[in-house]
Amino acid sequence: MRNFLIAGVITVILWIAEDLLCTKLKNPLWGGIIPLLTLTFTIYILATGMISFNLTSFIVFLILNLFIIEGWSTGREKYKKRQKSELDKMKAHDIDN
């Protein structure tokens, strides 16, 4: 149970960091750092045998990676929407003047 709690806390911290990197920075590669590190770390853990490779561990790591990658995608969409909204406001302001 303790390991599950620690994994959950780490996942939440990664999710928050991922959201900040994806939604605040212009270059999408910054948001790709955490998914790449997570995937690399997952492969390393399973390849070295730190955790036995079975269906349960595979599903847990798969879900973690999918959440992180989904966060990257969602964050980029938020960034693009915010940029478009700001551009629309600027265009509307220019038309009014």
pLDDT for res 97: 60
**How far apart are the C-alpha atoms of 50 and 70, rounded to whole Å?**
26
- Consecutive 10-residue runs of the chain (97 residues): their mean pLDDT? 81 82 82 87 88 86 85 86 89 75
- Render pLDDT for 19-39 as a digit per residue (tens, 0 to 9): 788 888 888 888 888 888 888
Tell me the two tokens of residue 34: 């955490």
pTM for the structure as a whole: 0.68
Nearest to 24 by CA among 71, 69, 79, 77: 79
Domain ranges of the chain: 2-96
For residue 15, give Cα distances in angstroms to 3, 10, 97.
18, 9, 42
What local confidence, expressed as pLDDT, does residue 84 receive?
92
Rounded distance between C-alpha atoms, residue 61 and residue 67, angstroms: 10
